[in-house]
Chains A and B, each alone.
Chain A
């Protein structure tokens, strides 16, 4: 069963792809489907003996370019739609034991360019209305493959969280004639105490009203609606600040910090999103201290209201210190 159903109560679309129940789950290193194929008798997903970055259609996709007919028809208040879109896997390296934070700046720069190319490519497809680049890292987050990789979903429309952000940005723009994210960045730089790292074009900061204890956002300091709006020097700075943040995360408690990385940028539904969309990446680790996770429970899952156990100013201070010590090792 692969289809989308709209919840008439919230107006949100939910995606069903039941084949994903059987996807590869935490295989042994010598069974990894994302490693290069070194023995033709035992091919992996990637048919080359070595590679830098590879992107391919997910074997267990949530969205496809030519979806089948939904199993149920729309009826009453229930709307149904095919899973039109795209689901890609982005493999960062042929080194099974590597991670995004340990790849080195040059490889992250290549990856930023690959994300930009995929955004242009997928965004031009008629069935794709929002290109969503993301990574789940660590078993605490729920990864099923340890090989360093991320994913890209091409949603047919704008998913709920970016849609809420864009609606708020539209209201702010209507009231003030400016981008709300630009205003937030300017204030974060002025306050300084939540800034984790900064370079020529990008800022890393724990948001003033962060949802999770060590949540960090990365954003260009000037207004840029999407990856396509970045100049080559700005893409290099983007790679640099990702590297800086991951060094801080991994130095915080001495182990690779599990996180969800989610990139928000201009929808590709048509229309002029440029004034209100501000490219940014949200990193959301689930740890609230080295040995405890922040679970999404009653208030967060039931009420949609986040309770945060760590002051953003304190989290930023710890991450700055961890980043400094990471530079010295």
Chain B
């Protein structure tokens, strides 16, 4: 495994389809800072950020191969390398897929029960209650 180099093309491809990568707290480490990867990863995780790691050869079926939360904070998302390669080639469909899975993977699981609806004049309304234990 190696750290995903957040080259400008990858970031631009993701942002074109609304990935909002920075906005959801993903740590993007520039290519020129790849030296000393272990220290960088540790620092990102200690700050509670998400680190994206490439898994060479992994099947790109779901885009994200695994998501884990280390005990000391942060999150590691392992992404199949072919998916990132497709994003770098500016394949819009691949970028959209990766953007969606990154958003889902970096949103915490909240112990909420949310019911969406519409008010009589069409405005959106959401009713929130605490989800029962085990129902988050």
Using a CB–CB cutoff of 8 Å, the interface residues on chain A facing chain B are 43, 45-48, 51-57, 59, 106, 110, 113-114, 116-117, 120, 123-124, 126, 222-226, 228-232, 266-274
- Residue of chain B at shortest CB distance from A106: B130
23 A-B pairs whose Cβ atoms sit less than 8 Å apart in the complex: A47-B120, A52-B129, A52-B130, A53-B127, A54-B128, A55-B125, A56-B123, A57-B119, A106-B130, A110-B130, A113-B110, A116-B110, A117-B110, A117-B128, A124-B18, A124-B20, A224-B25, A228-B24, A270-B15, A270-B18, A272-B6, A272-B21, A272-B22
Determine the distance from Cα of A4 to Cα of B47 in the docked complex, in whole angstroms.
37
- Where the two chains meet, the residues of B that have a C-beta atom closer than 8 Å to any C-beta of A are 6, 11, 15, 18-28, 46-49, 69, 73, 103, 106-108, 110-112, 114, 119-121, 123-130
| Closest A residue, CB atoms, query B122 | A57
**Closest-CB distance, B30 to chain A (whole angstroms):** 9
- Whether the pair B128, A110 counts as a contact (CB closer than 8 A) is yes
Given the complex of chains A and B, what is the CA–CA distance between A231 and B106 in angstroms? Answer: 12
Known: A53-B128, A124-B18. A273 touches B108 (CB 8 A): no
Of B22, B103, B114, B127, which contacts A266 at CB under 8 A? B22
Residues of A within 8 A of B125 (CB): 46-47, 54-57
Known: A117-B112, A228-B107. A56 touches B126 (CB 8 A): yes
> B47, A223: Cβ atoms under 8 Å?
yes
Please name all residues of chain B whose beta carbon is closer than 8 Å to the beta carbon of A126 when the two chains form the complex. 18
A220's nearest neighbour on chain B, judged by CB, is B48
Q: Which chain A residues lie closer than 8 Å to B19 at the CB level?
A: 270
* Contact, CB under 8 Å: A232 / B28: no
| With A117-B114, A124-B18, A268-B20: A222-B48 Cβ-Cβ less than 8 Å | yes
Q: Give the top 4 A-B pairs by smallest Cβ distance, nearest first.
A: A268-B23, A272-B22, A57-B123, A56-B125
Q: Give the residues in chain B near A266, CB-CB below 8 Å.
A: 22-23, 25
Q: How far is B15's CA from A272's CA once the two chains are assembled, in angstroms?
A: 11
Closest-CB distance, A184 to chain B (whole angstroms): 16
Q: How far is the CA of A123 from the CA of B21 in the complex (A)?
A: 11
Are A270 and B124 in touch, CB under 8 angstroms? no
- Chain A residues near B18 (CB, 8 Å)? 124, 126, 270
Q: CB-CB < 8 A to A54: which residues of B?
A: 125-128
B21 touches A270 (CB 8 A): yes
Tell me, rounded to whole Å, the shortest Cβ–Cβ distance linking B104 to chain A. 10
Closest Cβ of chain B: how far from A159's Cβ, in Å?
15
State the CA gap A107–B119 with chains docked (Å). Answer: 24
Residues on A with beta carbons closer than 8 Å to the beta carbon of B111: 113, 232
User: Nearest Cβ in chain A — how far from B35, in angstroms?
Assistant: 16
Q: Contact check: which of A46, A223, A269 meets B23 at CB < 8 Å?
A: A269
Contact B119 A47 (CB under 8 A): yes
The chain A residue sitting closest to B110, CB to CB, is A113
Within the complex, the shortest CB–CB distance from B120 to chain A, in Å, comes to 8
Chain B, Cβ-Cβ closest to A273? B22
A228–B26 Cα gap in the complex (Å)? 10
Cβ-defined partner of A124 (8 Å) among B6, B103, B114, B119: B103
A242 to chain B, nearest CB (A): 17
B11: chain A residues at CB < 8 Å are 271-272
- Which residue, A106, A126, A224, A272, has most C-beta atoms of chain B within 10 A? A272
Q: Is the CB of B108 within 8 A of A116?
A: yes
In the complex, which of the residues B21, B73, B103, B112 contacts A231, with contact meaning CB atoms closer than 8 Å? B73
A37 to chain B, nearest CB (A): 11
Minimum CB–CB distance for A2 against chain B, Å: 15
B25, A274: Cβ atoms under 8 Å? yes
Question: Complex formed: what's the CA distance from A240 to B123 in Å?
Answer: 33
A126 to B22, CA, bound (A): 14
Q: What chain A residues lie within 8 Å of B112 (beta carbons)?
A: 110, 113-114, 117
B46 neighbours in A (Cβ, 8 Å) = 222
